[in-house]
Structure 1
Amino acid sequence: MNHKTWIFDLDDTLHYASGGIFDHINTLMTEYMVRHLGVDEVEACALRSRYWAQYGATMHGLSTHHGIDPQQFLIETHPVEILQQWLQFEDRLAESLSALPGRKIILSNGPQHYVEGILQRMKIERHFESVYGVERLNYVPKPHLDAFHTVLAHEGLQAERCIMVEDSLPNLLTAKELGMTTIWVSKDARKPAHVDHRIEKISQLLRLRLN
């Protein structure tokens, strides 16, 4: 049987990043911007939020508008050895992933060292054939089409043969426009038109029998 390929986001999809991990990353980003842009904390927070909303990644806005070196910014704001203390995920996540037929790929806006480090600490890295952090996307984050095109081209995939599992609705909209099956990881009761399925946790994927 020719199975479809699963493309997974990482943060708030495979683990619960909202709260501990994201809060600490946001604090580190704000401190970095205060040091390097010469702004106060209030303005740094506003810029961080604006760039994330506008570009899908704060790093993209800082690089575009302020000439910040994206690699150095990502290294200083994503210290896995510190962030791992807030790592939370499903107890049987590895079993759920193992039971899903088909290739599995990670597509994240996070930096490569962070994505790989978090996967290793969850002991699920062996389930993924390829891992794409933002560096491998040429620093063009989701939901931009180029991010998806990069992965599809590198992996030799057709969008219609892919299943995107994500917590971000804008990212799923791009995936749907390309022809992917879309799965929204959310506790929200609604299901927008560009979402094919909604789940609250990864173990529920098995019930969908999509592959």
Structure 2
Amino acid sequence: MASFVSIASMTRPSRPKRRRPHVGGGTPVWLFDLDNTLHHASHAIFPAINQAMTQYIIDALQVERDEANRLRTGYTQRYGAALLGLARHHPVDPHDFLKVVHTFPDLPAMLRAERGLARLIRALPGRKIVLTNAPEKYARAVLDELRIGRLFERVIAIEHMRDRRAWRAKPDPAMLRRAMRDAHVSLADAVLVEDTRSHLKNYRRLGIRTVWITGHLPAHHRAEGVPARLPGTGRPHYVDWSIRSLKSLRSGTRSGRLKRRHPCSRLTDLTRR
């Protein structure tokens, strides 16, 4: 099980030197989700965001709290992000919504992350990109507090997922294809590390490889509602790897705890130097 430490209490290491992105050649391109993947958002961040979203909906739409919660959860499940439903069906300013619900004066004290996080990320071969439904300012603030911002060549946040017609977010397939083209990433080289199963399921259909990280999730999310699994696999069929800790991305292949789901998957080989 992953161990977590308060970011505010950590001794901050020196910033790593920026690496030049490597393009092409079949090397892996790691697409890391942010919340509950690179840090333990369920500890304090998610409860605060959910509370702020509900209050924003109450104030903006003049509805009762139960209705605001219903809209927030319903839009998140339907569209992948509450913002998309609000922008589509209500007169809400998306930029103001994102700013209000993702602003935390005490962010360092709210963060929890795995020990040695920077070392774990740095050890992975290939390119690293953050792919998050959160706004860019919040994402970069979290990465800076975690001291891992310079390990990623870019942050693809929800503002960057928009097209000319509408706001988009994970798990929108067209958005991912466009984002990967812009980043010069082949879908065959992409490895999505993510806590949300619906995102993994949608994107596995595009041919990318999927890693489901569960160590940051509340226990009831890990134990309940797991979709049907292939006989004998022990994980959903659209998940290539299921891990509890990011350290497994390096140590799993050597220890044998993590095995390839599909004969054609190159993920095992790619995590070896």
TM-score class normalised by the smaller sequence: over 0.9
- Structure 2 residues without counterparts, runs of 5 or longer: 1-24, 216-221, 224-233, 254-267
Q: Tell me if 1:169 matches 2:213.
A: no
SS of the equivalent of 2:205 reads helix
Give 1:144-155 correspondences, 5 Å limit. Answer: 144-155=172-183
Amino acid in structure 2 at the alignment position of 1:199:
I
* 2:155 match: 131
* 2:262 match: none
Q: Give, in angstroms, the shift of residue 46 of structure 1.
A: 1.0
Match of 1:63 among 81, 87, 103: 87
Q: Give, in angstroms, the shift of residue 40 of structure 1.
A: 1.1
Q: Give, in angstroms, the shift of residue 146 of structure 1.
A: 2.4
Amino acid in structure 1 at the alignment position of 2:235:
K
* Superposed structure 1 runs of 4+ greater than 2 Å apart: 80-85, 187-190, 207-210
Q: Give, in angstroms, the shift of residue 44 of structure 1.
A: 0.6
Q: Contact conserved, 1:184 with 1:198, CA < 8 A, in 2?
A: yes
SS of the equivalent of 1:81 reads coil
| Change in 2 beyond 3 A, CA 1:84/1:5 | same
TM-score, reference length from structure 2: 0.74
Q: Contact conserved, 2:43 with 2:112, CA < 8 A, in 1?
A: no
* 1:160 match: 188
| Change in 2 beyond 3 A, CA 1:145/1:201 | same
Q: What is the number of equivalent residue pairs in this alignment?
A: 211
Identity percentage over the alignment?
Answer: 36
Deviation digits for residues 140-189 of structure 1, max 9, x if unmatched?
A: 11011123123211111111111110011111112211111110001548
- Structure 1 residues without counterparts, runs of 5 or longer: none
The alignment yields a C-alpha RMSD, in angstroms, of: 1.4
d(CA) in 2 for partners of 1:49, 1:2: 39
* 1:197 match: 241
Q: Give, in angstroms, the shift of residue 3 of structure 1.
A: 1.4
Amino acid in structure 2 at the alignment position of 1:165:
V
Give 1:96-107 correspondences, 5 Å limit. Answer: 96-107=120-131
Q: Give, in angstroms, the shift of residue 80 of structure 1.
A: 3.8
Name the one with the larger helix percent.
1
Match of 1:108 among 132, 140, 158: 132
The structure with the larger Rg is: 2
TM-score, reference length from structure 1: 0.95
Q: Give, in angstroms, the shift of residue 60 of structure 1.
A: 0.6
Q: Give, in angstroms, the shift of residue 210 of structure 1.
A: 4.2
Amino acid in structure 1 at the alignment position of 2:199:
N
